Every structure is written in C-alpha cells, then in structure tokens.
Amino acid sequence: MKNLINKTNGILFAWILLTGSISTANAQKAEFGVRLMPTFSTFDLKTSGGNSIKGEVVYGFGVGAFFGFNFTDNVGIQIEGIYNSINQKYKEVDVERKVNLRYVNIPLLLSLNTGKSRAVNLNVVAGPQIGLSVGSSVTTTGSDGVANSKAVLAVKKGDLGLAYGAGLDFGLNSSHTVRLGLGFRGVFGLIDISDNSETMTTDSYYILDKTKIKTYSGYLGLSILF
C-alpha cells in the first residue's frame, strides 16, 4: 500500500511538472471579468402547523465580477464577488407566500482548464464559498385561512457552501485575450441559515427551520486576460 501511494504521488508530481513546462509561455496571466447569472434555488420551508414543505422554485438572478490568476495554461485560482437574489414560494390553504433571500457571495475556486489561452477552453472549478446576508423578505397574498398566524423570516448573517461548476470560454480576438464565457455554477449549502433566536408570540412561527440553501445558476460573461 505504501509503495502504491508513493507511485501515485510521483505520477501526480510528474503531471504537475509536465503541465507547467508545456504552458510556460502562457503562465503568469491574470484575468478579470463580469457575469450575469440567472439563478434557481431550493430550500426547506415550514407551514403554520410546523410541517416541512418544499417551496416552488422561482427564478432569481445574480450579477458579479471575478479576478483570476493562472499559474499555468491549465491551472489557476479565482475569487469572485456575486450578488444573488433567490426566491421560493409556497401555498398554504388560501395563502401564498414568497420568500426572498439576498446574499453577497464570495467563492474562492481552483480552476482546471484544457487551455486558458486557446481559442476554446473547457474549465471546471470548485472551492469554498462564503455568503453574507444583505436582506430578506416574505410577501403574503390571498385571504388568511391559517388562523391569522404570523410568518416570521429570520436568517443568519453568514452562510458557508461548496461551489462547483463547469464552462466554456471563447476567444473573441486574434490573441484570445478578450473572452466570452458560458457555463454552469452550483452551490451546496453546508450550514443551517435559519435564525430561531427571536422572541415569538403564540400566533407566530418561523418559515425557515434547519434550512440549507442549494443554488443552480447559468452564467454569461466577458473577461480580459492580461
């Protein structure tokens, strides 16, 4: 077993050296870009009776910018700043409620590429994401057939998740430094975002309870290698 581990480590080390030597001419390139990110999300909700319910997925949106540094033509890192507005809605008796959560998300990602400076590049990314809550709201419509219960939306200030994704980017000029990016981004929430620390009245209940957010986004963006 020890010999197998040593051989595996040796192969990985050789691959890293080979990748770096092949891409020396394209190393040390930075990248800056902006993106539009239509977003869908899932998270658990509660009814006035205390039952868990899956909300209906509602379209949300995201906008952001990123800065990347490419160690080689195949390996890099990038940090992003993304504003996300995500929504869910559900119906209980004759009442429909729409829950909106707003976050500034900051993912730090390892980026693996088939060739960052090529005309067409396939990339995969993964890494941790920190989320900062910047607002939340619940909108109620319809006649209240649930004994006038008051729905309380309380969210923790921070979130932590695992971001992952894949995409294609295309060089738009002869040197391939101006690039169009298309892709997918998912985030799997790792912590419970619900905050149940408020003082409640007898006719109130929390909409969120032991809730972890999952989001799924497409993106369209422009970037510049320099």
Give the residue extent of every domain in the chain.
Answer: 27-225
Label residue 53 by pLDDT band (50, 70, 90). Answer: confident
> SS3 helix, strand, coil % of the chain, rounded to 5?
10, 60, 30
Element (DSSP H or E) covering residue 20: helix 2-22
Q: Name the more confident of 6 and 173.
A: 173
7-16, 142-151, 180-189: range with highest mean pLDDT: 180-189
pTM of the model: 0.81
Distance between CA atoms of residues 60 and 46, nearest Å = 21
Which numeric CATH code is attached to 27-225?
2.40.160.20
Distance between CA atoms of residues 46 and 194, nearest Å = 11
Burial of 15 (0-12, 13-18, 19+ CB in 10 A): exposed
Distance between CA atoms of residues 185 and 163, nearest Å = 7
Distance between CA atoms of residues 59 and 39, nearest Å = 6
Angle at 103 between CA 86 and CA 51, to 5 degrees: 50
What's the mean pLDDT in 21-34?
A: 67
pLDDT of 3 above 90: no
pLDDT of 169 above 60: yes
Distance between CA atoms of residues 117 and 169, nearest Å = 10
Q: Are the C-beta atoms of 188 and 216 separated by less than 8 Å?
A: no
Amino acid at 105: N
